[in-house]
Structure 1
């Protein structure tokens, strides 16, 4: 179906746009295949307002008469029909912005609303805007991602004796959600990996995601074993994990489910690693919520933040009832436990929940940020997201189909990636000098994951991106963010590299609501943004003479 077939009315004059931080403006509204374009009457210098339709989470419309029914009667004695009608469309966006369009004409209003509803919910990946976006500063001939598994492995020369790159999943037949190449123990051949994959949900057998140089220990991740009610065993899976701790006394399995949930999973074919079968491994349970529970938590939080009529006590009560900060606390606590096992205790760790595509990635990513200074640079952080989320098979299209406003509740939705960004913001707030990137980068990512010009967050796996041609026909967000002018905007001017681990405090007073995200469309947020710009300019001016002095000294 062509985009034009979805558009019932393409242009409407005399539309009034109401949006945060701006006075109501009258102008022309245009509906295209991927955008709403609003052009005001401010002359040639006035820039049009563009809204990516994919960013729209919910549409609310109302139609009413402007003049009402006339009390005058015609010569026939019948009341006259109203001559003017109008409608209001409220657009609630996935980036939490709420817009209002006042449209003259009942039919035009209903047509515009119908067009938006249809175009904002296109499900065919190849019809989405990243396949049509062609910025002049990027080329489709450029490398799509930042790094491959092979390139990442080549940079870690210290692991070459004990670990290798396996191409066992090159055709995605072993695990549809894994990338073609993974890093595994050197002593484990591909045949063993294939058999171990059959024993793990979705074929997600244990793979390396982090190597700690000082202790020689590692963080691995996987999905749950398929032991089932009959407590089935897999010698190859046991051999794989034994190879990880060969010569060590102990390894830890951090299960992101409660003990009860893990037991219940056995009734449906899942399960956990038995202590008697996996000698040398100790299992710990740290329950992290996902799915519907996490989605409902975000909805309640956004509802609380969007209601300005509550008293302070009522607002704090609703904030607490959302339990969002409890999810932040649990995620940081579990990541801290993993990091502590690796650095302080010198033990390797395997992280998994059930599917291994959500909380496992969340915990492994945060643990690496705590431990690894390379992951805390701008390029390093984007590389971490690429490895641990994009390449590792987080199902972005399912999880981020809707945000907090949608009236549709899909089974697979969950803001796990937004939770990660919130946890990273908490780390950056507690350690303002340790991160090479700034809050605007996290806010940009929180927006892009739901609606983007780029193909980075399209699809649910690397295999799907290959099938749909994402890497050949769209541009990579991470590549764009590392361009010189983007780097300047998203870099932390106060950054000072430290080789030490950064251990977050998870006490309630140490965790705060991320105002930059959840209160970004309030008047107070506008003042904060202006203050941050002033601070950034001051810091940049202070650093410039120092940098020039260093350059002159080097010369």
Structure 2
């Protein structure tokens, strides 16, 4: 981890640009902001070796500085990503290259050197583009003053990151890949065969079409109950369920789970019977008194062996990711959580993970911490350093 960078102070908003204005000096200010003549050669021809299949350049900016690394280069907006090429090595800089779908948000900022109190402020402003990624990255690009390159790049990002039509996205414009890939259903069946210890079997498209994939071992079996996605539209066409449970019981148990997301096996040990399974919340209702014999039988069937190798009786742990109060509150909408008294030799464990809004805020704090203390941070210009609490401390 790198040492904490000197904090910055924040002034009022820049009315001419409509973005935040930050005061402070960074190490990248020492770079030469020399005038760079426009490149007259075809961009797509010069950099074709860096472009993917059907990827095309929309806009470009020259003499752009990747502030995180104090590195100058050329910034391209393509129909797939934001691509940064180093002027020194002419290679792609991974830190400054990010797919458009990975960008959470971006905005323009203005920064200038901090002047002495008695001096007239004549320092040129630095025009920045602030990129926040869904992959924990915070990337900052600096543009030459008195040019329109930042505006051009920003407008191109607006058009390409959020196209008006879904068909304009790269995934659709590039068409089918020239590389052959196995059918997704075939890949799923091969994984199921591996989990069941049936590695000698190899799935095929004909096996999927004929429905001849319902193999089993001593504990588990592959069910084709959801082959037409009629039981649960958000589950795959094939499911691993306990061998002792019939397809009729699977269908009956699905009505007791939210969105019919029945209890299915995600991982199992072919020998000792250890298993991981997942499902949606049970529909126990406001009084938490609704029950389903089929669901309880299905859950109990996960304990295929009641005694482990040490001779101890096995217990079934039902992990609920929510806080207990949230689970109880969901009872008002018909949901809720299991009761250990209704499920054979089980224990309910609440992980106390809060709702999506709290998780999003927690993720943002973690990202800001990494940006502040990381070796490749965005020069300390994270929301952590410009938070009101930190600014009050700096001014005191």
One fold, TM greater than 0.5? yes
CA distance in 2, matches of 1:99, 1:207: 45
Corresponding residue of 2:352:
287
Q: Which of these residues, 3, 9, 24, is aligned with residue 72 of structure 2?
A: 24
Q: How many angstroms apart in 2 are the aligned matches of 1:14 and 1:241?
A: 61
TM-score normalised over the length of structure 2: 0.59
Q: Does the CA contact (< 8 Å) of 2:138 and 2:377 recur in 1?
A: no
Trace 1:64-79 onto structure 2 (pairs within 5 A).
none
1:197 alignment partner in structure 2: 254
Deviations 1:378-403 (A, max 9, x none): xxxxxxxxxxxxxxxxxxxxxxxxxx
Task: Provide the rounded CA distance (Å) in 1 between the counterparts of 2:354 and 2:280.
Answer: 16
Summarize deviations over 1:93-145 as a string: whole Å, max 9, x none: 3441412131555655334312212322348665433445689xx74422155
TM-score (norm 1): 0.44
1:210 aligns with 2:210: no
In the aligned structure 2, how far is the partner of 1:303 from the partner of 1:64? 19
Tell me, in whole angstroms, the C-alpha distance in 2 between the residues paired with 1:275 and 1:12: 61
Match of 2:181 among 142, 159, 166: 142
* Residues 290, 235 of structure 1: alpha-carbon distance in 2 compared, 3 angstrom cutoff: same
- Please give the secondary structure, in 2, of the residue aligned with 1:300: helix
Q: How many residue pairs get matched?
A: 281
Alpha-carbon distance in structure 1 between the residues aligned to 2:355 and 2:164: 23
The one of 358, 376, 383 equivalent to 1:521 is 376
Change (3 A) 1:118 1:273: same
Matched, 1:232 2:290: yes
Q: Which of 317, 330, 345 lines up with 1:265 in the alignment?
A: 330
**In the alignment, structure 1 residue 219 sits paired with structure 2 residue 284:** no
Instruction: Select which of 112, 128, 131 maps to 1:91.
Output: 131
The match for 1:100 is: 141
Q: Is the 8 A contact 1:36 1:51 kept in 2?
A: yes
Q: How far 1:181 sits from its partner (Å)?
A: 0.6
The separation in 1 between residues aligned to 2:368 and 2:105, in whole angstroms, is: 14
Name whichever structure is richer in strand by fraction: 2
Quick one: distance in 2 between partners of 1:146 and 1:103?
51
- Report whether the alignment pairs 1:168 with 2:225: yes
Q: Distance between the aligned counterparts of 1:284 and 1:92, measured in 2?
A: 35
Question: Aligned pair 1:299/2:364, yes or no?
Answer: yes
Residue 166 of structure 1 and its aligned partner are, at CA, apart by 0.9
Gap change, CA 1:38 and 1:21, over 3 Å in 2: closer
For residue 215 of structure 1, report the CA deviation from its aligned partner. 3.3
Q: Secondary structure at the match of 2:301?
A: helix
Deviations 1:151-177 (A, max 9, x none): 233332486133211112222222222
**SS in structure 2 at match of 1:193:** helix
C-alpha offsets along residues 248-295 of structure 1, whole Å, 9 cap, x if unaligned? Answer: 365332223333332222122111223443343333333234522222
CA shift, 1:18, in A, is: 2.4
Structure 2, unmatched stretches of 5+, are 1-56, 113-123, 199-215, 307-312, 379-396
Corresponding residue for 1:241?
A: 299
Distance 1:139 1:256, change over 3 A: same
**Cα deviations by residue, 1:206-257 (Å, 9 ceiling, x for unpaired):** 1112323553242222111011114222222122223333673653322233
Point out the structure with the larger helix share.
Answer: 1
> Which residue is 2:40 aligned to?
none
1:266 counterpart SS class: helix
The residue number in structure 2 matching 1:435 is none
> Would the alpha carbon gap of residues 52 and 152 (structure 1) be closer, same or farther in structure 2, given more than 3 Å must change?
closer
Corresponding residue for 2:81?
35
